[in-house]
Amino acid sequence: MNSLDFSIILQAWPYLWSGLLFSLALTAVASIIGLILGTCFALVQHFEVPVVSQIVRGYIAVMRSIPLILVLFWFFFLVPIVLGHLSGNGRPIPIGATYTAFITFGLFEAAYYSEIIRVGLRAVNKGQFEACQALSLSTFDTYRNVILPQVFRVASPIILSQTIILFQDTSLVYVLSLTDLLGAASKLAQLNGRLVEMYLAVAVVYLVISSAASQFVASLRKRYALAGVHR
Domains plus CATH for the chain?
Answer: 7-230 (1.10.3720.10)
Angle, CA 217 vertex, CA 45 and CA 66 arms, to 5°: 45
Closest to 153 in 3D by CA, of 110, 195, 124, 178: 124
Return the DSSP state at 146: I
Statement: the pTM of the whole predicted model exceeds 0.75? yes
Residue-level pLDDT at 125: 81
- Taking residue 130's Cβ as centre, other Cβ atoms within 10 Å add up to 10
Residue 180 has pLDDT above 90, yes or no: yes
Residue 104 has pLDDT above 90, yes or no: yes
Which residues touch 211 (CB under 8 Å, ≥6 apart)? none
Residue 229 has pLDDT above 80, yes or no: no
Average pLDDT score over residue span 203-224: 88
- Taking residue 60's Cβ as centre, other Cβ atoms within 10 Å add up to 20
Residue-level pLDDT at 34: 96
Residue-level pLDDT at 225: 61
Residue 227 has pLDDT above 70, yes or no: no
Residue-level pLDDT at 231: 46
At residue 67, what are phi and psi to the nearest 5 degrees?
Answer: -65, 150
3-state class (DSSP) for residue 14: helix
3-state class (DSSP) for residue 180: coil
DSSP 109-136: HHHHHHHHHHHHHHHS-HHHHHHHHHTT
Burial environment of residue 161 by CB neighbours within 10 A (0 to 12, 13 to 18, 19 or more): middle
Alpha-carbon radius of gyration of the chain: 22
Higher pLDDT, 110 or 190: 110
End-to-end CA distance of the chain: 56
Q: Are 53 and 41 in contact (CB under 8 A)?
A: no
Residue-level pLDDT at 166: 94
Higher pLDDT, 51 or 85: 51
Residue 96 has pLDDT above 50, yes or no: yes
Task: Please write the tens of the pLDDT for every residue from 129-177.
Answer: 888 888 888 888 888 888 888 888 888 889 999 999 999 999 999 888 8
Closest to 3 in 3D by CA, of 195, 205, 203: 195
Residue 214 has pLDDT above 80, yes or no: yes
Of 5-9, 113-117, 133-137, 166-170, minimum mean pLDDT range: 5-9
Provide the CB-side half-sphere exposure for 25 (13 A, CA): 15
